[in-house]
């Protein structure tokens, strides 16, 4: 390929809160299994096929430690296997139910049967021992750049510096334990940033992180070093990113695509296409794969053209090739947007043919897409691009509880008698505290998306922490050990977590 007109870095942020043992439907383990079956399996399959073709430096893949823990968890692995088998049975039931009816519905059932059979074969062949053995070869061969993050995806600006440092260092160590190397970059949860956080990143060995475009006033054409550090930030190019998914529009709303919200409740399948924004569920037309394929081709071409025009504009403006960073939740591709994986493959194949250098964040640095220094404001990728989603009036109770919990946690670790080794009870107390501090709970409440579930989860983990802390302070070691063991049966993630590091501030 001749000299590229510029670079394109796709960043996929893979994350779900800890869900095993905490409900099933409509929010809980079902959420995990749907995302696993419809996003993680097909996206990884795409990356493996590109790897087999000799492609390298394809994209940057963020995997949060809390998601990796679920995808490696034996209980969750068994649960997904059962779910995939149930999906296959539901497709067979739908085929019988729709026999003699609309041929488009019969084709939906047949397509779901084929998809579930492929997913079962893929899982049984490659995934039975978890995600890490599947991901590691893609990282080792340079197909993807893996980036990590803090343990339970907390909103870092609201954390005490000691808790923030502990969660980040422990998260990086957890990823290293699963993959064999410590990631050089992180997805800062919710792209949340407070001035000075780059110093903590540098101390933890983090070399690069993501912010949203407005934090750079839209000047996202180059990576920039932050403050007085050597830590680099990349900004999302919203002009390009929002072609796919924005707060108000994007490709997944096309009438030809599968409608995410409309269920056939007897089978649990989604047999309808979007049809129209104002069309009632019962009036939506059956899904037609041929129409969806036409929309995929149209939208892939539109996206490639958008990237090319953007890069030409950046080159004319700066006098040298620039970079477009598009970042999305991985769960968009397949789970929320059924056709997303097919669209993604079409784009990743078409961009190089259009003269665009497809690369990772690390590859973008190697290619010289670097600008000067910048001082970043307090920011996030949420509504208003500030902290209101996680620090607003709607979640003031969660914010207050989180602040109190952190103060109590630090007091606990600072005043307990030092032991000669790890304390499994204190380790579990820290797990529960970090689970209570997950940014997901505030997001779900602010967005009124399963808000009751989010409140309940934050409360459950906060109460489990408080109970263990009270027993430890009272010196009731036997009762504390028994309670910690019972709680760990549900919240046993992060086996390498060592609470002593929080006590020392390391």
200 assigned to some structural domain: yes
Q: Please indicate, yes or no, whether residues 227 and 143 belong to a single structural domain of this protein.
A: yes
Tell me which of 321, 346, 373 is where a domain ends: 373
Q: Please indicate, yes or no, whether residues 100 and 238 belong to a single structural domain of this protein.
A: yes
160 assigned to some structural domain: no
Q: What is the pLDDT of residues 195-244, one digit of tens each?
A: 999 999 999 999 999 999 999 999 999 999 999 999 999 999 999 999 99
Percentage, residues of the chain above pLDDT 90: 95
165 assigned to some structural domain: no
Q: Please indicate, yes or no, whether residues 72 and 195 belong to a single structural domain of this protein.
A: yes
Is the pLDDT at 329 greater than 70? The verdict is yes
The CA distance from 350 to 300, in Å, is 8
* Of 181-195, 216-230, 288-302, 407-421, minimum mean pLDDT range: 407-421
- Predicted pLDDT of residue 408: 98
Alpha helices in 214-262 (DSSP H): 238-244
Positions marked catalytic = 190, 329
Q: Please indicate, yes or no, whether residues 346 and 203 belong to a single structural domain of this protein.
A: yes
Q: β-strands 322-329, 59-63: how paired?
A: unpaired
Q: Please indicate, yes or no, whether residues 355 and 484 belong to a single structural domain of this protein.
A: no
Tell me which of 320, 341, 373 is where a domain ends: 373
Q: What is the pLDDT of residues 245-297, one digit of tens each?
A: 877 789 999 999 999 999 999 999 999 999 998 999 999 999 999 999 999 99
Tell me which of 348, 373, 398 is where a domain ends: 373
273 assigned to some structural domain: no
Residue 360 Cα distances to 4, 80, 139, 442, angstroms: 15, 30, 12, 31
Would you mind telling me the total number of residues written for the chain in this entry? 506
Q: How many domains is the chain partitioned into structurally?
A: 2
Q: Please indicate, yes or no, whether residues 210 and 87 belong to a single structural domain of this protein.
A: yes
- Tell me what the pLDDT averaged over the chain comes to: 96
67 assigned to some structural domain: yes
458 assigned to some structural domain: yes
Calculate ∠ Cα 76-82-84, nearest 5°: 100
**Residues β-bridged to residue 61:** 12, 146
Residue 202 Cα distances to 45, 88, 215, 361, angstroms: 34, 48, 20, 17
- Predicted pLDDT of residue 365: 98
Kindly state the DSSP code that residue 99 receives in the 8-state scheme.
Answer: T
What range does the domain containing 341 cover?
6-148+183-257+306-373
Kindly state the DSSP code that residue 288 receives in the 8-state scheme.
Answer: -
Q: Please indicate, yes or no, whether residues 333 and 419 belong to a single structural domain of this protein.
A: no
Confidence of residue 504 (pLDDT cuts 50, 70, 90): low
Strand segments (E) across 121-195: 144-147, 185-186
Q: Please indicate, yes or no, whether residues 340 and 444 belong to a single structural domain of this protein.
A: no
Q: Please indicate, yes or no, whether residues 440 and 361 belong to a single structural domain of this protein.
A: no
480 assigned to some structural domain: yes
156 assigned to some structural domain: no
- Predicted pLDDT of residue 460: 98
pTM over 0.85: yes
Q: Please indicate, yes or no, whether residues 104 and 250 belong to a single structural domain of this protein.
A: yes
Q: Please indicate, yes or no, whether residues 393 and 368 belong to a single structural domain of this protein.
A: no
Measure CA 72 to chain center: 15
Q: What is the CATH number of the domain that holds 477?
A: 1.20.1430.10
- Predicted pLDDT of residue 125: 97
The CA distance from 201 to 376, in Å, is 14
* Of 97-101, 104-108, 168-172, 314-318, minimum mean pLDDT range: 97-101
Q: What is the CATH number of the domain that holds 67?
A: 3.20.110.10
| Burial tier of 299 (Cβ tally within 10 Å: 0-12, 13-18, 19+) | buried
Q: Please indicate, yes or no, whether residues 362 and 422 belong to a single structural domain of this protein.
A: no
């Amino acid at each position: 390929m001749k000299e590229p007109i510029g670079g394109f870095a796709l960043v996929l942020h893979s994350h779900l809160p800890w869900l095993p043992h905490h409900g099933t439907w409509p929010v809980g383990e079902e959420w995990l299994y749907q995302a696993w079956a419809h996003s993680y399996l097909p996206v990884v399959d795409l990356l493996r096929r590109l790897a087999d073709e000799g492609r390298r430096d394809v994209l940057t893949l963020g995997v949060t430690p809390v998601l990796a823990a679920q995808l490696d968890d034996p209980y969750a692995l068994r649960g997904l296997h059962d779910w995939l088998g149930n999906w296959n049975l539901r497709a067979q039931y739908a085929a019988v139910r729709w026999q003699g009816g609309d041929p488009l519905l019969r084709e939906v059932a047949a397509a779901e049967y084929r998809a579930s059979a492929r997913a079962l074969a893929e899982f049984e062949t490659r995934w039975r021992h978890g995600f890490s053995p599947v991901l590691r070869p893609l990282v080792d061969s340079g197909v993807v750049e893996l980036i990590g993050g803090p343990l339970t995806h907390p909103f870092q600006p609201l954390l005490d510096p000691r808790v923030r440092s502990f969660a980040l260092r422990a998260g990086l160590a957890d990823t290293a334990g699963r993959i064999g190397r410590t990631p050089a970059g992180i997805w800062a949860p919710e792209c949340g940033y407070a001035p000075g956080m780059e110093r903590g990143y540098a101390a933890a060995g983090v070399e690069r992180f993501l912010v949203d475009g407005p934090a750079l006033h839209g000047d996202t054409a180059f990576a920039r070093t932050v403050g007085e550090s050597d830590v680099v930030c990349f900004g999302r190019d919203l002009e390009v990113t929002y072609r796919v998914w924005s707060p108000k529009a994007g490709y997944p709303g096309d009438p030809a695509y599968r409608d995410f919200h409309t269920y056939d409740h007897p089978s649990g399948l989604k047999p309808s296409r979007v049809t129209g924004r104002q069309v009632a569920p019962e009036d939506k037309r059956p899904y037609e794969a041929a129409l969806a394929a036409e929309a995929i081709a149209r939208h892939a071409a539109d996206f490639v053209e958008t990237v090319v025009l953007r890069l030409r504009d950046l080159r004319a403006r700066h006098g040298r090739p620039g970079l477009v960073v598009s970042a999305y939740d991985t769960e968009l591709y397949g789970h929320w947007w059924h056709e997303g994986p097919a669209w993604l493959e079409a784009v990743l194949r078409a961009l190089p043919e259009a003269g665009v250098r497809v690369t990772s964040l690390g590859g973008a640095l190697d290619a010289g897409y670097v600008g000067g220094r910048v001082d970043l404001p307090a920011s996030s990728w949420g509504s208003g691009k500030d902290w209101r989603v996680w620090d607003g009036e709607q979640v003031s109770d969660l914010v207050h509880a989180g602040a109190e919990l952190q103060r109590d946690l630090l007091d606990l670790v600072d005043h307990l008698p030092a032991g000669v080794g790890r304390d499994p009870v204190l380790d579990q107390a820290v797990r529960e505290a970090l689970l209570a501090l997950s940014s997901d709970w505030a997001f779900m409440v602010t967005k009124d998306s399963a808000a009751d579930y989010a409140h309940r989860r934050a409360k459950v983990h906060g109460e489990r922490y408080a109970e263990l802390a009270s027993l430890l302070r009272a010196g009731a070691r036997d009762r504390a050990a028994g309670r910690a063991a019972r709680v760990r049966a549900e919240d046993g993630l992060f086996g390498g977590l060592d609470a002593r590091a929080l006590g020392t501030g390391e």
